Amino acid sequence: MQLAERIINSKDAGLGNLLAAPKQNQVSFAGGLPDPDLFPQRELNAGFNRALASTTAALQYSSAAGYQPLRKQLAARLVADGVPASTESVLITQGAQQALDLIGRLVLDPGARVIVEGPTYPGALAALGTYEPEFCTIPVHDDGMDMAQVAATLARGGVRLIYTVPDFQNPTGTVMSLAKRQQLLALARKYDVLVLEDAPYRALRYRGTNLPTLRQLDQDDHVLHVGSFSKILAPGLRLGWVTGAQHIIDQLVQLKSNSDLESSTLTQRAVSEYLAHNDLDAHIKVLRRNYARKCKTMVTGLQRQLPASVHISDPAGGFFVWLELPAGINSETVLAQVQDRVTFVPSTTLYPDQNVKNGMRLAFTNPDEAAIRRGCRELAAGINKAMRVTCGAATAMA
């Protein structure tokens, strides 16, 4: 039986393993899972009860673009954040992941170039990889992508899409500076290339103030802004959204319809009821307080136990701490040593070419603080051991 080229050429992105629940006695820093103790379970349950009490329409077919009152509520939230949006220009998707898939479907032919940050979100590589592009990896500095390299890559031609997480980048936690946001948009305009602004962590800032989104700064409709309820409400709802120029959203609605007809009307109505009867921003404040504390626990725990030669990020928001080990230390080797006790995402998974081995992505949001401390101890012990072995070997060689 002959399979499609896209399958024959594909690699397993390993997303399934990422999102698996931790095994017994194992601390997982791997998947970007929220803290389940913070899910507003009772309030969401009330939302489902309300949605099911009022009308049979909650169980019927409805609309590919999404439940209109929810789109309106989302548009209002986007506008409050400075993002230009209207009810009509918001498309509801199956989590942000489906938005990435549909955007890839819209602009990518085999061999088209896609600019991604290195390291980046592995799910984006998986979703966009379906359409067989050539990924061009741009290093991420503390203030975002290296814009000289973005410009040089665009000048080579053939780029159809720039994928970026400007706020609390997955996995480095960095925030793209205002100057770079403006440079990126100028380049997108010059080369007439679409920018996918993936913003699932934007509301989860633990200190400082947000910069304007790319979509807010976008003068000529080159940006699609993608968001999600997964990190601020609950991933089990599978609700995300995308907004941008109306003619692009209209095409994405059509692609959504072809792909799965529509998202669950019931779930959309339940979340719409939740938003109408609860203060989501107050809920997000609780998340911010909790995650800021967990982040600090992880960063200080690692700082205390690791030598200065290991670079430890100190993110101002988001879900992840990023470790850079000295060159020559392989994070996959460390993972093999410690994975019965603690897991994380090795950097190989986060680069299209899987060629950078000395990085580690650590999600701090899911485990409780005692588990974070235990996981940091186990991880630091594993890293220190690997560094002794490698340095010992290097010394013996010298």
Of residues 21 through 80, those in contact with a copy of itself by CB under 8 A are 21, 31, 33-34, 36-37, 39, 41, 44-45, 48-49, 52-53, 56-64
**240 in Cβ contact with 97 (< 8 Å):** yes
Nearer to a copy of itself by Cβ, of 60 and 395: the residue is 60
The strand pairing partners of 163, in sequence order, are: 116, 196
Regarding 236 and contact with a copy of itself (CB under 8 A), the answer is: yes
Regarding 111 and contact with a copy of itself (CB under 8 A), the answer is: no
Tell me which stretch binds a copy of itself (CB under 8 A): 250-258, 305-313, 316-324, 378-386. 250-258
The residue from 75, 78, 91, 108 that contacts a copy of itself (CB under 8 A) is 108
Nearer to a copy of itself by Cβ, of 39 and 206: the residue is 39
Regarding 20 and contact with a copy of itself (CB under 8 A), the answer is: yes
Regarding 192 and contact with a copy of itself (CB under 8 A), the answer is: yes
Nearer to a copy of itself by Cβ, of 107 and 356: the residue is 107
The residue from 28, 73, 89, 98 that contacts a copy of itself (CB under 8 A) is 98
The residue from 109, 156, 157, 395 that contacts a copy of itself (CB under 8 A) is 109
122-151 positions binding a copy of itself, by CB under 8 A: 123, 126-127, 129-131
Regarding 286 and contact with a copy of itself (CB under 8 A), the answer is: no
The Cα 222–Cα 286 span in angstroms is 34
Tell me which stretch binds a copy of itself (CB under 8 A): 72-80, 93-101, 316-324, 349-357. 93-101
Regarding 4 and contact with a copy of itself (CB under 8 A), the answer is: yes
The Cα 73–Cα 87 span in angstroms is 8
Phi, psi of 158 (to 5 degrees): 80, 5
